A and B are shown apart, each in its own frame.
Chain A
Amino acid sequence: MRYLPLSETDRAEMMDVIGVGSIDELFVDVPAEARLDGPVRGLSMHASELSVERQLGAMAAKNMVAGEVPFFLGCGAYRHHVPASVDHIIQRGEFLTAYTPYQPEIAQGTLQVLFEFQTQVARLLGCEVANASMYDGSTACWEAIGMARRITRRTGAILSSGLHPHYVSVAKTMARFTGDVLDTGLPSFEGTDTERLIAGITKETSCVVVQYPDILGRIEDLSPIADAAHAVGALLIAVVTEPVALGLIKAPGEMGADIVVGEGQSIGVGLQFGGPYVGLFATREKYVRQMPGRLCGETIDAEGKRGFVLTLSTREQHIRREKATSNICTNSGLCALAFSVHMTLLGEKGLRTLAGINHARAVEVAGRLGKIAGVTLADGAFFNEFTLQLPVEARPAVHAMVERGVLGGVSLGRLYPGEASLANGLVLAVTETVTDADIDALEAALTECCA
């Protein structure tokens, strides 16, 4: 048992000090009928590293690895190249095996990273302040709706039809219990629902929630929505699931969004089948006390040296208990570190280049696929993700492409099952990881599947 340092001699000596004759005496408070009399049913005994590697390796081998096939999936999780030094740094034991920085004198490494992360996120999203991260984009989105309720003391939230349907589902789940009234809609190939959003804003509206780029990949100026919301004292919440886009396109904060949340996965974190990811959360300084989650702030130590601490923690559950802004306790610290290291390696220059490559490749692929007989590319602006209308149902087409060894996008049939109007929609993401050969393979597979 390689993870357990005590020897039998140690155990005997320690029991002597404690004054018990057997380990069982330490479990006297556990009623006899609740004690397991034998080993856990069916679980084998302890295993060597090699044995565990074989067992898990066999499972891993059954999956189609994104990096080994032509891969074009997006819709809330994006495959980007992560520099080798990112994983090296997050595996340093001082970061990997530290706890929440409750003792700041010996946690300045984590704390300075969080302060830098907060600043990077705030600048990227175009806001004044950001927190030290949330679980992921979908929970950050929900928390933003709750925060808008607290600020405006209203309960009406209007959700754009371009918001990721899983994010909408999360919001609906929570709204069932908190009394928020959500106004939702289905996306359409014809265009965004900006007019619906603006027309729906009333004095009962707490917030309008818009995804940018949206679930179909479209981008649009958010300023008119911000103006309409602000005119009645409502907030604009912008959701960014592909933060690489903000290296090229205007930040939501620049267009008047009051709260900007996002999924930070695409910078530094990797796909990981959905988690762990890192939720981004930024807002105006005046709303900071209504913000959920941990915050790191600058201060000085007893000798006057600059240092960092977790601060404004009276908002949080461990002090406010039932009056906390949220029940959130952990952040996504290590993923925030990965995000921050990758962002540092990119810098403004690298991020602009990366975003430029993504867009250029996406425009190229969109142009080629749009020429396949019967396939239509929607009008309008996009970043690295776009939606095609196929002449056939997209869901079976995706499965048919898998058989040809191509992971060729996300069908709207998967995201909106049963919605006939969307059944032929296929959303494709194109990043810097896509090769010319990948594009050829996708074009060929899609052409066959549409024939």
Chain B
Amino acid sequence: MTINPSGWRPASPSDVHGDVPLTTTGNRALMLEEGLLFEVGSRDGTGVDFDFSVERTSDRLGGLVRTSLDLPGLSEPETVRHYTRLSRQNYAIDLGLFPLGSCTMKHNPRLNEKMARLPGFADIHPLAPQESVQGALELIDTLAHWLIELTGMSAVAMSPKAGAHGELCGILSIRAALEARGDARSVVLVPESAHGTNPATAAFAGYKVEDIPATAAGRVDLEALRARLGPDVAAVMITNPNTCGLFEPDMKGISDSVHAAGAFVYCDGANFNAIVGRVRPGDLGIDAMHINLHKTFSTPHGGGGPGSGPVVLSKALMPFAPLPFVVKSDGGYKLVEEETALAEGSDSFGRMVAFHGQMGMFTRALSYILSHGADGLRQVAEDAVLNANYLLRSLEDVLDAPFAHSGPCMHEAIFSDKGFAEGFTTIDVAKGLIDEGFHPMTMYFPLVVHGAMLIEPTETESKATLDQFIVALRSIAERARVGDEALKAAPVFAPRRRLDETLAARKPVLAWKTPAPDGADSGAGAEVGGR
């Protein structure tokens, strides 16, 4: 038989690396370098035309005419190419698995984009007279209804702009409720494994933050929690399923203890995707929970937002919900603002944002909920959990899985860097995954696991994708265990090698500096006036 007649064989990364020929452009075939807008654009470049010409005969500017303004422009073809080239330097869920634990990177259906762009939703003004936007108010009210149903709660505040903003809404509702009963409390308890936004939010709302320890099984230490409850504790913030990917089995018991002590339970709903359609947080005694629409209901993450963080509330907190909110009445839908809040029985803590929340995200989320329906949403949770457990059991022999012995995980699987060769850690595994064509998992979070790797595949990944990922991650884990130095150089095939984050932080360059004509550094912002 003839073996490999062409003589072609795949090169190993280390072979390829030393000898890649340099090109004159710096481009590498489809990988195209792109300069900064400030290098490729010019002050008289523009990509728009106008119907009017401006005759500056008289103005009413009171002499405040701007002279200095240095904003480069590009023609339309140059603009499209600039951003298209940049886009290709991004990894995205449209390209492959994006298993960031706790972030829920799932497929973003394009129907939702189409719906959000219907002029009847996209081209209406937030202060338009209410009789002219009844369909928009109906959409908000309809989404609100399903969020309440899915969570088993009494009400929902729709205006928070993102998860952390929703947390703030929940904690402010709790503080308002406590103040209304004349019960000043000073402490919020937060598990060590919580998202950083939890303690930041509680501190912002004026509370002292105390940690609750975790047990060896990755759950909240109930004894420690119960022992700490007392008249000074305003609330307990719990993430469930928690950031180790585990369900807190005694959630109802926790809630009962917290309520018995006169405090409230805030649930971080970042991981609601694992239980949507199967478990209703309201049945577990939760008083407030934010829902990241961009996670569970698949509105796109957009490279870091916009998010949307509606907060479902229990009966006890309902009166304190922020303004504005939508109510259905005989004559249609009404927006309740400061003017009519009292008459509507609201004891609101106030307004959190100028308008009514992330309408564009509401449309997408409702489109998603209606598409999946009752059967689909339940299947979402099941497949998300199935995929995560499949990864957990397919990797636990090569990666340390600290909680694998305690039973199945929920929607994400957690591993540690235990067992890696000296000098090798989680970041090396992450960067190795980049070369294999995957986005890395969440690294070094939660803090309760050393070198944590938190992997959340989500329900929109096929078995074939997971199998390929397993093969890749197993191979990288082996390399980390034996101390393969080549792994330290990863990524080799990405648009950039490892970046110097220390340099960026020590000498921050946060805006483009136009080089001075003599080549000397003009300093950031030196082009703008006023100093």
Q: Is B133 an interface residue (CB 8 A)?
A: yes
A interface bracket (residues with beta carbon within 8 Å of B): 35 or more
Which of these, A34, A85, A133, A139, contacts B80 with CB under 8 Å?
A: A85
A347 CB, min distance to chain B CBs, angstroms? 1
Residue of B nearest to A1 (CB): B376
Q: Report A-chain residues with C-beta under 8 Å of the C-beta of B375.
A: 1, 39, 45-46
CA distance A178 to B89 in the complex (A): 42
Q: Is B18 an interface residue (CB 8 A)?
A: no
Q: Is the CB of A52 within 8 A of B367?
A: yes
Interface 1/0 per residue, B482-504 and A, CB below 8 Å? 00000001010011111111011
Interface 1/0 per residue, A292-305 and B, CB below 8 Å? 00111111111101
B6-41 CB contacts (< 8 Å) to partner A:
34, 36-38, 41
Given contacts A75-B127, A219-B64, contact A172 B350 (CB under 8 A): yes
Q: Is the CB of B354 within 8 A of A14?
A: no
Given contacts A41-B149, A60-B121, A105-B499, contact A47 B370 (CB under 8 A): yes
Offer 19 A-B interface pairs, CB within 8 angstroms, sorted by A: A11-B383, A49-B111, A53-B115, A77-B355, A79-B125, A88-B80, A89-B80, A95-B303, A97-B107, A104-B499, A109-B86, A129-B524, A173-B352, A220-B62, A254-B530, A297-B509, A307-B496, A343-B71, A354-B48
Which of these, B195, B356, B385, B390, contacts A275 with CB under 8 Å?
A: B356
CA distance A322 to B195 in the complex (A): 11
Given contacts A301-B496, A330-B307, contact A221 B355 (CB under 8 A): no
Q: Report B-chain residues with C-beta under 8 Å of the C-beta of A33.
A: 252, 283
Q: Report B-chain residues with C-beta under 8 Å of the C-beta of A357.
A: 50, 52, 54
Q: Is B202 an interface residue (CB 8 A)?
A: yes
Q: Report A-chain residues with C-beta under 8 Å of the C-beta of B460.
A: 3-5
Most A-side CB within 10 Å, residue of B54, B84, B462: B54
Q: Report B-chain residues with C-beta under 8 Å of the C-beta of A21.
A: none
CA distance A88 to B36 in the complex (A): 20
Q: Is the CB of A302 within 8 A of B497?
A: yes
Q: Is A108 an interface residue (CB 8 A)?
A: yes
Which of these, B55, B356, B367, B499, contacts A307 with CB under 8 Å?
A: B499
Q: Report A-chain residues with C-beta under 8 Å of the C-beta of B246.
A: 29
Q: Report B-chain residues with C-beta under 8 Å of the C-beta of A300.
A: 499-500, 503
Most B-side CB within 10 Å, residue of A76, A132, A311: A311
Give the contact stretch, choosing among B167-175, B224-232, B417-425. Answer: B167-175
Q: Is B515 an interface residue (CB 8 A)?
A: no
B154 CB, min distance to chain A CBs, angstroms? 15
Interface 1/0 per residue, B295-330 and A, CB below 8 Å? 000101111111110000000000000110000000
Q: Is the CB of B302 within 8 A of A95?
A: yes
CA distance A64 to B128 in the complex (A): 9
CA distance A137 to B161 in the complex (A): 12
Q: Is the CB of B52 within 8 A of A360?
A: yes
Q: Is the CB of A344 within 8 A of B82?
A: yes
Q: Is the CB of A40 within 8 A of B277?
A: yes
Q: Report B-chain residues with C-beta under 8 Å of the C-beta of A83.
A: 47-48, 76
CA distance A406 to B406 in the complex (A): 64
Which of these, A29, A52, A62, A309, contacts B138 with CB under 8 Å?
A: A62
Beyond known contacts A90-B302, A311-B504: 5 more, CB 8 A cutoff: A18-B386, A29-B410, A34-B252, A275-B353, A326-B200
B65-122 CB contacts (< 8 Å) to partner A:
65-66, 68-74, 76, 79-80, 82-84, 86-95, 98, 100, 103, 105, 107-109, 111, 113-115, 117-122
Given contacts A129-B510, A357-B50, contact A253 B528 (CB under 8 A): yes
CA distance A303 to B249 in the complex (A): 50
Q: Is the CB of A248 within 8 A of B61?
A: yes
Q: Is A156 an interface residue (CB 8 A)?
A: no
Q: Is B360 an interface residue (CB 8 A)?
A: yes
CA distance A302 to B431 in the complex (A): 13
Q: Is the CB of A105 within 8 A of B123?
A: no
Interface 1/0 per residue, B354-395 and A, CB below 8 Å? 111111110100110111111111111011011101101110
A136 CB, min distance to chain B CBs, angstroms? 6
Q: Report A-chain residues with C-beta under 8 Å of the C-beta of B528.
A: 122-123, 126-128, 251, 253-254
B45 CB, min distance to chain A CBs, angstroms? 5
Q: Report B-chain residues with C-beta under 8 Å of the C-beta of A99.
A: 98, 100, 103, 105, 301, 303-304, 439
Q: Is A437 an interface residue (CB 8 A)?
A: no
Q: Is A319 an interface residue (CB 8 A)?
A: yes
Most B-side CB within 10 Å, residue of A1, A274, A320, A418: A274
Q: Is B284 an interface residue (CB 8 A)?
A: yes
A237 CB, min distance to chain B CBs, angstroms? 15
Q: Report B-chain residues with C-beta under 8 Å of the C-beta of A319.
A: 196
Q: Is the CB of B60 within 8 A of A414?
A: no
Given contacts A108-B495, A344-B79, A347-B72, contact A327 B128 (CB under 8 A): no
Give the contact stretch, choosing among A182-190, A195-203, A375-383, A442-450. Answer: A375-383
Q: Is B405 an interface residue (CB 8 A)?
A: no
Give the contact stretch, choosing among B204-212, B256-264, B472-480. Answer: B204-212
